[in-house]
Amino acid sequence: MKTHYYLGWFNKCFPRNLEVALQEDITDRKSLVMISSNPFFYEDDGATERSWLDQADIMFDEYHLINYHVQKEDASALIQNASVIFLLGGNTLKQNGFLTEYELPNIIKESRAVVMGASAGAINMSAKWLCSKNFGYKVEISSVYEGIGLDDFSVLSHFDLENNLVLVQSELSPLSEEMNIYASNKDCAVRVKGDKIDILGDVYLISNSKIQKLDETL
């Protein structure tokens, strides 16, 4: 059963109920493979995300970070042998380009590992996502990008929804006619486990141009 976690951002640590879910789902703890969102940068990359797992008492025998310091073939091998794949938060566009350049999406989709993404990483896990200046991207024209496509929906993660619901609904309306969109801010998660979707925190579903807040199930 494939398990995917689409995370927002956590200022300190995972909430207890998310910790419990992760501890139950991550049974194989041989290798954690993190994928950078700023692949030219190395120092301390992934330290925050790793600290969340450490505080949840989820430790691994091996830790690996994939960026431009890692050869393409080695990156593929690391992912194929990973227990958990974690797409780091940060620069969504840089990570998207890096994933494509290193030909990682299909390898990630075929993996049996638990796949997690925080903020930018969660967005790139999804099927498609909207790049717009209204969402903080330095672009003049809005564009829809292809993600890895682990699940057939879109994600807007780590965005101040509470003060921008009308803007978000308007911006994402065209894409929401094509697929469901899960939008969240900090301290939130969407877990897909098999055919079941669970919600943690304030998560909104945008579907067919309509928006609704989802009930928590984690």
Q: Tell me the pLDDT tens digit for each residue of 35-91.
A: 999 998 776 678 999 999 999 999 999 999 999 999 999 999 999 999 999 999 999
Q: What percent of the chain lies above the pLDDT cut of 90?
A: 84
- What is the structure's pLDDT at 35? 97
Give the sheet arrangement for strand 154-156, strand by strand: 154-156, 181-184, 203-207, 210-213
- What is the structure's pLDDT at 44? 67
Q: Tell me the pLDDT tens digit for each residue of 90-134.
A: 999 999 999 999 999 999 999 999 999 999 999 999 999 999 998
The set of residues, in sequence order, having a beta carbon less than 8 Å from that of 7 and lying 6+ positions away, is 116, 117, 118, 119, 121, 122, 157, 188, 189
- What is the structure's pLDDT at 178? 96
Q: Tell me the pLDDT tens digit for each residue of 146-165.
A: 999 999 999 998 888 777 88
Q: Which CATH number applies to 3-213: 3.40.640.10, 2.40.10.10, 3.40.50.880, 3.65.10.10?
A: 3.40.50.880
The pTM score is 0.95
User: Cα–Cα–Cα angle for 120, 122, 128, nearest 5°?
Assistant: 90
Average pLDDT over the chain, rounded to whole? 94
Q: List the chain domain ranges.
A: 3-213
C-alpha span between 39 and 91 (Å, rounded): 10
